Amino acid sequence: MSTITEITTQSQWDETLASLPSSTLLVVSFHAPWAAPCAQMATVLSTLASEYPVTDPLNTKWVSINAEELSDISEAYDVTAVPFLVLIRNGRVVETVSGSSAVKVRTAIETNAQKDASAPTAAVNGTNQTNAPVTKTDGANVDPEKQKEELFKRLADLVKAAPVMLFMKGTPSDPQCGFSRQMVGILRENSVKYGFFNILADDEVRQGLKEFAEWPTYPQLWIDGELVGGLDIIKEEMGNNEDFFKPYAVGGTADAAA
């Protein structure tokens, strides 16, 4: 049975890509130690991997990557939230799955593991996979109410992915709006450890979170799974209590996320 290998260095990743036969489906799980859904996904993937025998040549290869420690690889595959699954064959992305849906992950892997390796896939320039077309796992005829229910379950997990979660336009290193830039600045000034989600990379989350949170604008800051608010609310909270973020700062009393 197959097992999951943890990739810990860029060179190990490069060697893995170079050593695989062109027909092998590479299953890559991006994770972060602070995100609870990642632990659940690790169990799901370990179970799935055990169902695939080790063949010659390899039919599947399973690896996991800490998205924060190997950020260059994460950025290359446009990983903006975890857990995030990337399926690769012959150096090309064939499908991605964002979130912790075990059903979507199993479907994606089973579908692509059975595909003919010679089937055409989109070419990728260099190592940058961000422009590679991917296949969405959502079916065309999904019941709207069920789809909304699944989305809200995903959002409920996302807002709890770290003690402090920032839903922003862009990333902390490259904010895409002034309000998001100011929010990142406030968190940095107060040494807050936090998780983030780039809502520009996932329109389903971008639109759904507005209804889920009953808050129509971004950025949004969530603490311990509860919405605090946008930039104006955070500034107000800081004005009323300069130690507002202290429990979530580096060296604070709460477990937090980078």
CATH of residue 80's domain is 3.40.30.10
- Determine the Cα–Cα distance for residues 245 and 116; give it in Å rounded to an integer: 52
Report yes or no on 138 lying in a domain: no
Domain closes at, from 95, 114, 133: 114
Verify that 155 and 75 share a domain, yes or no. Answer: no
**Are 168 and 85 members of one domain?**
no
Please check whether residue 214 lies inside any domain of the structure: yes
The residue range of the domain holding 160 is 147-248
For each successive 10 residues of the chain (258 residues), what is the average pLDDT? 92 94 94 81 88 88 92 88 92 90 89 60 34 41 80 91 91 89 94 90 88 92 95 93 91 47
Burial class (CB in 10 A: 0-12, 13-18, 19+), 140: exposed
Which long-range contacts (C-beta less than 8 Å, at least 24 apart) are formed by 51-57?
A: 51/1, 52/1, 52/2, 52/113, 53/1, 53/2, 54/1, 54/2, 57/21, 57/23, 57/24
Q: Does residue 132 fall inside a structural domain?
A: no
Which of 130, 152, 159, 140 lies closest to 35 in space, CA to CA?
159
Q: Is residue 133 part of a domain?
A: no
What pLDDT, on a 0 to 100 scale, did the predictor assign at position 224? 94
Of the residues 63, 96, 114, which one is the last residue of a structural domain? 114
The domain tally of the chain equals 2
- In 3D, which of 101, 210, 108 has the Cα closest to residue 150? 101
Rounded Cα gap, residues 93 and 133, in angstroms: 8
Question: Cβ neighbours of residue 133 under 8 Å, at least 6 residues apart?
Answer: 122
Residue 257 lies in a domain: no
- Would you say residue 121 lies in a domain? no
Q: How many CA atoms lie within 13 A of 202 on its CB side?
A: 27
Going by C-alpha positions, the residue among 170, 154, 167, 172 that lies closest to residue 227 is: 167
pLDDT the model gives residue 132: 36
Identify the pLDDT of residue 120.
39
Residue 11 lies in a domain: yes
Maximum Cα–Cα distance across the chain: 65
Say if 215 falls within a structural domain. Answer: yes
Write out pLDDT tens, residues 112-145.
Answer: 987 544 443 333 333 333 333 334 444 445 578 8
Write out the two tokens for 35. 């995100």
For 86, the enclosing helix (H) or strand (E) is strand 84-89
Please give the pLDDT value at position 103.
85
Residues 183 and 219 sit within 8 Å (Cβ to Cβ) = yes
Tens of pLDDT, residue by residue over 241-255, are 999 999 998 865 444
